[in-house]
Amino acid sequence: MISFVSTVEGVPRDTGTASLYQRIRKVLTRDLLVTLALGQVLSLLICALGLTSKYLANDFHANTPIFQSFLNYILLFLVYTTTLAVKQGEGNLLAILMQRWWKYMILGVIDIEANYLVLRAYQYTTLSSIQLLDCFVIPVVLLLSWFFLLVRYKTVHFVGTGLCLLGIGCMVGADILLGRQQGLGEQKLFGNLLVLGGAMLYGISNVCEEFIVKNLSRVEFLGMLGLFGSFFSGIQLAIMEHKELLRVSWNWQIGLLYVGFSAFMFGLYSFMPVVMKRTSATSVNLSLLTADLYSLFCGLFLFHYKFSGLYLLSFFIIILGLVFYSSSSTYVVQDPRVYKQFRNKDNQTPYEPPPLCPRVLEPSVIYTTLSPEQGDEFPVQVA
């Protein structure tokens, strides 16, 4: 008897589709999606700040940017500065003031004036100019991170940054095409200079914040900012805005808007160090580019703005840029020779360090990633 054995061959898979799917899953990891979501939470908080400010200025004629910032600094003082005051050991408020009080004083002044300059610019230039020029904070953060935090980037990071800026360009172009030129537009050069100055100060403040939260603590940063911010913004309020504050027609609606603004600002200041410790100052600022788009989408329903498909295109381009930027890790280097090794890693080129003297330390590098693996921590140390 002859027996026959039949074999059934499996249907060959579409290797091209499977390979593309695997690549997408490799890039869109859970940590990357969490990072993107955290950045969008910050953007939504900024959107809420813009809406409450618009209602205060347009509906109730309350133009009090210094007072609004002052309320936030007071909340930071009550929560975080008092926490430092009751804390024991080296992290106590008195110990911090004795070691580096003047550094936090300068940082507090920088943060106050950054907020003031950008808000002041709305009186002199158009909204489109502010949205476009405010992106100057991104190259400032990149340069300061490169030289002072010793962060090194790959080509994919610059591509992602370029895509985000292209998305902002689409949004501004849509505003111009729709004639949505909000703002007085008078003395535009002066207003544009105010925006550039504010963006530069924002960049300095954000890089300092990244260094502090990654090397010291989030509570120390917010506590000292609340201490010096409330002190100096209170002085600036008494000098420059006390008359405007007296002209406000107080009622429960205005009071509710001020409370809402303070709550959103306090949430932004409290949550941003958490996101920045996980990512970086550059990644946070790229994420905040979508805040203007959220404001536009809300304005479609609240203020009857005109819609343009360029707004959706702009949003998707910015998100794509964020995915590009977050898909690869940056690192902090303590020796320039290691950067060459890092750049040649993709080409698998062996790196042979030059012979060192017996007493010379080996070059060291500490990698940081925007999407750390579970359980891994990469502390940032700056020489």
Asked whether the beta carbons of 195 and 121 are under 8 A apart, the reply is yes
Confidence class for position 201, pLDDT limits 50, 70, 90: very high
Task: Tell me which of 25 and 383 has the higher pLDDT.
Answer: 25
The predicted-structure confidence for 225-273, as pLDDT tens digits, reads as follows 999 999 999 999 999 988 888 888 889 999 999 999 999 999 999 999 9
Do the Cβ atoms of 318 and 346 come closer than 8 Å?
no
Q: Is the pLDDT of residue 222 over 90?
A: yes
Of 91-100, 219-228, 354-363, least confident by mean pLDDT is 354-363
Find, among 159, 147, 271, the residue nearest to 209 by Cα.
Answer: 271
Pairwise pLDDT comparison (299 vs 81), residue with the higher score:
81
> Taking 70 as the threshold, does the pLDDT of residue 319 lie above it?
yes
Contact between residue 162 and residue 321 where contact means Cβ atoms under 8 Å apart: yes
What integer pLDDT is reported at residue 186 of this predicted model? Answer: 55
Percent of the chain with pLDDT over 70: 77
Can you tell me the distance from the alpha carbon of 234 to that of 12, in angstroms, rounded to the nearest whole number? 72
Provide the pLDDT for residue 4: 43
Per-residue pLDDT, 90: 81
Query: SS3 for 331?
Result: strand
Does 218 score more than 60 pLDDT?
yes
* CA distances to 1, 71, 329, 358, 371 from 45, in Å: 81, 16, 27, 54, 23
pLDDT value of residue 229? 95
- Say which amino acid occupies 340: K
Query: Which range has highest mean pLDDT (64-68, 116-120, 372-376)?
Result: 64-68
> In this model, does residue 371 exceed pLDDT 50?
no
DSSP bridge partners of 332? 151, 366
Neighbour order of strands in the sheet with 365-368? 151-152, 330-333, 365-368
Q: Among 13-22, 30-39, 60-69, 138-147, whose mean pLDDT is lowest?
A: 13-22
Q: Distances from the Cα of 95 to the Cαs of 88, 105, 223, in angstroms?
A: 10, 15, 13
Tokens found for residue 232: 């100096």
DSSP H stretches of helix in the chain: 15-27, 30-54, 65-76, 82-86, 93-121, 127-133, 137-147, 155-177, 188-215, 218-240, 242-246, 252-278, 281-287, 291-302, 309-326, 336-343
Top-confidence range, 7-21, 115-129, 316-330: 316-330
pLDDT tier for residue 15 given thresholds of 50, 70 and 90: low
Select the more confidently predicted residue: 371 or 140: 140
Please state, rounded to an integer, the average pLDDT across all residues of the chain.
80
For residue 87, how far is the Cα from the chain centroid? 29
Burial environment of residue 304 by CB neighbours within 10 A (0 to 12, 13 to 18, 19 or more):
exposed
- Condensed to tens digits (0 to 9), the pLDDT of residues 17-52 reads 556 566 666 666 778 888 889 989 999 998 898 888
If you average pLDDT over residues 79-106, what whole number do you get? 91
* Segment 212-220 mean pLDDT: 92
Task: Give 132's Cβ-side CA count (13 Å radius).
Answer: 18
Q: Is the pLDDT of residue 349 over 50?
A: no
**To 10 degrees, what angle do helices 309-326 and 291-302 make?**
150
Asked whether residue 182 carries a pLDDT value surpassing 80, the answer given is no
Q: What pLDDT, on a 0 to 100 scale, did the predictor assign at position 370?
A: 41
Task: Give the pLDDT confidence score for residue 7 in this predicted structure.
Answer: 42
